[in-house]
């Protein structure tokens, strides 16, 4: 389909259903989950283990093909933690795994199928140890992580850094650095003096954002009808 044929009431009903599912089924699995989360198809989001915390306005876009997974390993004598800041976006396929601690700052953008882990999960010589060694991972504010990137144990990524698609990060990354490759190398430094807009700027004023989004959807779906939507599903035409 080239556009959304749903009437506006159908969009609102679907959004309310996703929000209800989030509150009823998904929120209880988080230790804490801040206000106004936006979880797209929350039934494809897996939250496993204790001590998983997320801040305000978490935005997750999952699908059947690309579920989002948060996993904390918690044997009796060791319990990991995942801490996610405010205004964070994660695309489908993202995996966050913690045996010890993974911390993600505010306003981060994490693209499809990125993996962040603080542990190798098996030793080279002892591959059945239930308490594998870990090194905490810390990702700063406003970090952009590209498609399929891998962030390994013990890594700290500075504020505003960019991690390229398919990059493999095994060492610390400085703030404002742009990294790419396997193993990742510095390819550019952003200008720290140039003003930086973040998701906090977009999402900070909740009432203003809600009005903007509502008006945008109304305009985009103006003229759509229930019969028109059914026709597009059952008898699609060129141009739909």
Q: Which residues are catalytic?
A: 122
5 CA to centre of own chain: 27
Using DSSP bridges, classify how beta strands 144-145 and 156-157 pair: parallel, antiparallel or unpaired.
unpaired
Residues 6+ apart with CB under 8 A from 70: 45, 46, 47, 48, 49, 52, 82, 96
**Whole-number Cα distances in Å, 219 to 28, 80, 210:** 35, 46, 14
Interatomic CA distance for residues 117 and 80, integer angstroms:
11
| Bond before 90 cis per omega within 30 degrees | no
For residue 10, CA distances in Å to 19, 130, 145, 150, 223 come to 14, 48, 33, 38, 13
Assigned token pair, 99: 């045996």
> What does R_g of the chain's alpha carbons equal in angstroms?
20
Beta-bridged to residue 32, according to DSSP, are: 53
* CA 228 – CA 237 distance, rounded (Å): 11
CB 100 within 8 A of CB 135: yes
The tokens for 16 are: 């309310």
């Amino acid at each position: 389909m080239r556009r959304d044929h749903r009437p506006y009431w159908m969009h609102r009903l679907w959004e309310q259903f996703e929000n209800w599912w989030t509150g009823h089924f998904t929120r209880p699995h988080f230790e804490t989950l801040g206000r106004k989360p936006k979880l797209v198809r929350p039934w494809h989001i897996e939250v496993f283990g204790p001590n998983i915390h997320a801040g305000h306005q978490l935005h997750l876009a999952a699908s059947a093909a690309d579920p989002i997974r948060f996993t904390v390993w918690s044997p009796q004598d060791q319990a990991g933690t995942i801490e996610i800041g405010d205004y964070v976006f994660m695309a489908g396929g993202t995996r966050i795994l913690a045996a010890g601690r993974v911390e993600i700052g505010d306003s981060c953008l994490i693209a499809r199928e990125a993996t962040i882990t603080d542990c190798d999960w098996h030793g080279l010589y002892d591959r059945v140890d239930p308490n594998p060694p870990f090194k905490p991972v810390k990702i700063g504010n406003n970090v952009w992580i590209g498609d399929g990137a891998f962030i390994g144990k013990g890594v700290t990524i500075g504020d505003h850094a960019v991690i390229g698609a398919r990059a493999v990060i095994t060492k610390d990354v400085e703030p404002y650095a742009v990294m790419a490759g396997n193993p990742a190398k510095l390819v550019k430094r952003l200008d720290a003096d140039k003003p930086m807009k973040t998701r906090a700027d977009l999402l900070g004023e909740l009432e203003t954002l809600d009005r903007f989004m509502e008006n945008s959807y109304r305009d985009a779906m103006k003229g759509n009808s229930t019969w028109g939507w059914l026709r597009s599903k059952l008898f699609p035409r060129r141009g739909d």
